Structure 1
Amino acid sequence: MNKFLFAGLVLALPLSLSAAPPSLEVPLPPPAPGTTPAPMADTRSPPAFAQLRPEQQRQRRADYAAFKALPEGERDRIRQAAARFAALPAAQQQRLREQFQAQDQSFRDGWRLGPRLGMQFPKLHGLFGLVPPEQRETALVVLRQLTDAQLTQLTLVAQRTPPQERDAVRSAFLAVPPAERDAWLKRQAGQ
């Protein structure tokens, strides 16, 4: 896995998973006889999260919501990448964080779409970087339905579309029925 993909997967949703950790049922051994079990910790608001500034808390919640909106396969890829990242030496983790933070904000934001779309987002940014609110949900659904070949063709369309035509091309693309997407993309990509 290339270094930027790895960093993107792990750092796009940095500590967001701690904002509202997923439930995990861990069987605990019964308390030893004659001991009193420790009271349960309040997991709704971890102390580290409670110490964040309100805008940081909002960001963490937004990151977590983006994570939860991903298909399960993409969440699994992120969990695996996070485990590999956690196993790296602290100095290497810091270098990867710095490399990721040095990237353009739109590049970093693209990773919120998951590993598959995040990797392609720099090329798709022209068409999908500034999607009007009324098209956002449709755009995400359509982008996630695309095959890898269709996604590759769409990156060509995005890169070849002049700025003044982007809104019209994006709207036309989103209106294409799924059965006609291949033909539309090939025509637009000049293939």
Structure 2
Amino acid sequence: MSKFGLACLLVCLPLALPVQAAVPSAVPAMPAPARSGSVAGIQNTWAALSPEQKRELRSRYAAWQALPEGERQRIRHAAAAVAALPVAEQQALRARYLDIDQMHRDGWLLGPQLGVLYPRLQPLFGYLPAAQREPVMALLRQLDAAQLEQLSLISQRTPPQQREELRTQLLALAPAQRDAWLREKVGR
């Protein structure tokens, strides 16, 4: 994964880093947690946040918790790699991240494997009915890199009026049938 991809993950998922270091400048500044790590210090920090900041952190925390442990470990390693970069390079990566569309920034909340493909998967999976969210996420996390690449091609080729039917077909497939189905759809 590129340095930029790593930076995107770190900005989106603040629990891989201290809160202050991971919050994009587009979000109002949040007070740094008390250094002592005391419960009172943490409570004071939380109390100082606006409702918008609290919602943002809750959302990011939920995204972090939803990631498989292997993805979280990749992000922890990325945090260490980015923290080792010179400050100017860290700031340049943050600025580059903030220049991308909010929809694509939000895609990085899905973790490194899906975040990098999100711009291409978004047409098919960006707007899901509530009942399909969990099954789709489970399915996407089961696919390997080649299958995700095929699915990203299908996503970009599928007209809007056919996306729901395509998702329904994909969700109905047994895992053993997915590879052949993906190859068939890409071959069209």
Settle same-fold status: TM greater than 0.5.
yes
- CA-atom RMSD, angstroms? 2.1
TM-superposed deviation, 1:60: 0.6
Aligned length: 172
Equivalent-residue separation in structure 2 for 1:92 and 1:78 (angstroms):
18
Q: What is the letter of the counterpart of residue 65 of structure 1?
A: A
Structure 1 residues 46 and 97 mapped into 2: Cα distance closer, same or farther (>3 Å)? farther
TM-score (norm. length: structure 1): 0.82
**Residue 133 (1) aligns with residue 130 (2):** yes
How is 1:176-191 mapped onto 2 (pairs within 5 angstroms)?
Answer: 176-190=173-187
TM-score (norm. length: structure 2): 0.83
SS of alignment partner, residue 71 of structure 2: helix
**Residue 85 (1) aligns with residue 85 (2):** no
Equivalent-residue separation in structure 2 for 1:48 and 1:84 (angstroms):
27
Q: What is the letter of the counterpart of residue 122 of structure 2?
A: H
Aligned-residue sequence identity (percent) comes to: 52
1:72 maps to what in 2? 69
TM-superposed deviation, 1:155: 0.8
Equivalent-residue separation in structure 1 for 2:59 and 2:148 (angstroms):
26
Structure 1 residues 71 and 44 mapped into 2: Cα distance closer, same or farther (>3 Å)? farther
Q: Which has the higher helix share?
A: 2
Q: Computing the radius of gyration over CA atoms, which structure comes out larger, 1 or 2?
A: 1
**CA offset digits 1:146-186 (Å, max 9, x no partner):** 11111111111101101121111112111111111011111
SS of alignment partner, residue 52 of structure 1: coil
Equivalent-residue separation in structure 2 for 1:154 and 1:43 (angstroms):
48
2:12 maps to what in 1? 12
Structure 2: stretches of 5+ with no match in the other structure:
20-35
Structure 1 residues 77 and 43 mapped into 2: Cα distance closer, same or farther (>3 Å)? farther
Residue 144 (structure 1) aligned to one of 138, 141, 144? 141
Structure 1 contact 112–118 (Cα < 8 Å) conserved: yes
Q: What is the letter of the counterpart of residue 131 of structure 1?
A: L
